[in-house]
Structure formats: C-alpha cells, structure tokens
Amino acid sequence: MADVIEQAEVLVSSPSRNYVTLRIVTRDGIVGLGDATVNGRELAVASYLRDHVAPLLIGRDPGLIEDTWQYLYRGAYWRRGPIGMAAIGAVDVALWDVLGKRTGQPLYALFGGRVRDRLATYRHAQGWDIAALLEQVDAHRAAGFDNIRVQAGVPGLDIVYGIGNGSVYEPAGRAAPVEETWDTEAYLRHMPGVLAAVREHVGDGVGLLHDVHHRLTPIQAARLGKAVEEFGLFWLEDVTAAEDQEALRLVRQHTTTPLAIGEVFNTVWDCQQLITQRLIDYIRTAVVHAGGISHIRKIFALAEIFGVQAAPHGPSDVSPVSMAASIHLGVATHNVAIQEYMGYPDLVHQAFPHSWHVEEGHLQPGDEPGLGVSLNDDLHSPDDYEPAYLPVVRRRDGTLTDW
C-alpha cells in the first residue's frame, strides 16, 4: 500500500528572526520539511498554508510531487504571487525531502547527480566608508571566499540599503517599517568610486557584485553600468524595478556590465521575457518564493537554453531549509553559476541543524538523505514571533520610491 500524508503542521517561529516552516509527516513516519517564509508577511503565508493548503494534503500520496504541485497551482484559480507560490514551494520541498529519505539518497542524487564538485558562493561586505568596507572584504577573502557583494554608505544619507551596524545587516523593523531617505544622484556620483577602490584593493581574480535594489530608472541604470564597466564586476543586481522588464533592454543597449535580477519573481512567466530575449545574464529566483524545487528547475532549464545562468537568492530571511534545497540544486544543475549566502546567526543554525556546510569558500550539501535538515523544536516557539516589516523609501521631496 502506498504511503500517505497524515500530518501537515505549520510552524511560525523566531529563532532571532521570523520563519514559517511546514512539517509533513507520512503514515510510515517519514518527516519532510519545507520553508514558506515571506519576509514581512509571515502570517499571511502561514494562514494560506494552514487554512487552505494543509487540509488538502491529508491522505495524498507524498510521492506524487509533480501532480501535487499542479493540483495546488491550478486548483486555486488565483495563481502566482509570493504568498501562494511560497506555500506551494514549501509543500513541494517537503515532498522532495520525503522522497529523499524514503530512497535513502540526498536530493542532488535524485536530480541526476553532481555536475560540480563544489558550489561557488558569495558573501556580503558592507561599510559606511571605504575603509570599513575593505576591512570586511579582507575578512571574507581570508575565510576563503573569492566572490563578494559590496555595499557602501552614501554621503548625506543616514540609512542606506545593505549597510547595518557592525558586520550585520537586518532591514526588517519589528515595530513598523523604517522610513529611509534616498538620493539617486548622490548614489550615482559616489558608488563608481567605491567600486573602483575595492577593485584596486583586491586586484583581479575576485568577483565583485553590487546590488542597486531596484532604485534606478532605465537611463540611470545604463549610466551606472557604463561607469563601472572598467572594474569588471561579476554583476550589477536589480538595477531597475523588476516589474518593468522592458526597462532592461535600454540598460542592455548601453553597457556590457553583466545584469542580474529575479529575487522577487515567483514563476517562470515572470522570467520568460528576460530569459528568452537575453536581457539579463543571471536569473535570481529563490526556491522558497518560486514554487519550490519542481518549478525552479523549469526556470533554470529555460535559462540554460538561452545562455542565462542561475544564481539563486540566499538572504538570511529564507531558512536553512530553503538554503539546503538551493545547494542541492546548485551542485546538480549545469547552469547554476553561484549561490548567494548571506549567513545566519548561530541561533538559526541551532534551530535548523543541517548537513550542508561551507568548505573552503564554497558550499557543500552533505550526503544525508533528503535535504539533510531537521528541526530543534525547543527553538521554534510561536511565542517568540513578532511582526516585522521591511523598510519604505522616500526621495528627498517626500515621494515614495522602491526600497
């Protein structure tokens, strides 16, 4: 008799930051985990999962992974969007986890096996001034990392995306959204000099990445791309608002600096134009927000046909469950170029014990069956949850713009 799903539990917890975790248990006692965290909207996806999706899973065969994905996607009628796709993604990853444990194989083996010995990653370096930024760059290089995202303060601005206190950047505010003030011209005047200083400091052979975070118009993004071409960046990320995909055509016409985008995309249809028209070099969808393993593999397969590389989103607000899924995909998917790894506080590692690990500046998935992640239930109390909100941004004249 085929195994069936008997329990589908949604956990909302906050081991130093908020996470939404799905735990599926089958009649044979196999446990599968999925991450459904949507930063700043955790309770919305938790309710979607608990009230609308979990009841539909009871009694289903956990081995029908693709059929379950189609059932949840097509059956809702109201498709796409981060909440629904994160819920579907959590179920999908949990079912893959069950399959790995049932077969006794790590997930990468189920995806066709390794295509690389280790997965390239990049870390985040930040500083209000260049000296502080270079100190963090040097620390990451000393730890073995050859690809580094660099963010710096902008003269005249008190709060800047990517810059936190010390070595930690956490944008979510617990009481209410932080309101930032933004000055595009000040940023455009300052940032090329920052990137020039970092390149001069590290020399060649180090991949430098920079995240604009959707702040520019197409012509402003083109101006920045041209200004930094000589520094040989690995990429410029999110130079314009992701909804306006045609904007990247203008940017592409004016610069050879590689472009990356996609962390806010949820389906292959969000990515289709950018990929098929070769308007980007890297697609950055995340497992948790793009419908899970089953759907993101389709996005990456489409990208491979058109010479676009995959570089999954990996901030600290996706849990180690999602990071595990992304690493397994990364070592088994030919066109995955690099995996973002922002890192986690120690308490998060303790809350989600995992076999994936950093090794000589790269990521390894481990060889435990399934995802190789478990839960420390003592660190997943619902009482620890507090609402959190991502910032909002206003230009100097008070009008709202993209964070």
Name the helix (H) or strand (E) containing 298.
helix 292-305
Pairwise CA distance, residues 146 & 123, whole Å: 9
Q: Which of 16, 109, 88, 39 is nearest to 365 (CA)?
A: 109
Q: What would the two tokens of residue 281 be?
A: 């070099």
C-beta separation of 155 from 189 below 8 A: no
Considering the candidates 48, 108, 161, 187, report the single residue annotated as catalytic: 161
Q: Which of 1, 23, 26, 5 is nearest to 13 (CA)?
A: 23
Known catalytic residue at 295: no
Considering the candidates 140, 210, 213, 295, report the single residue annotated as catalytic: 213
Known catalytic residue at 213: yes
Q: What would the two tokens of residue 31 be?
A: 């446990």
Pairwise CA distance, residues 180 & 282, whole Å: 28
Q: Determine the residue type at 299.
A: I
Output the CA–CA distances (angstroms, integers) from residue 338 to 121, 283, 324, 332, in the order listed: 5, 11, 14, 12
Name the helix (H) or strand (E) containing 315.
none
Output the CA–CA distances (angstroms, integers) from residue 167 to 13, 15, 125, 170, in the order listed: 24, 19, 8, 10
Q: Which of 169, 175, 189, 158 is nearest to 343 (CA)?
A: 169
Active site amino acids: 161, 213
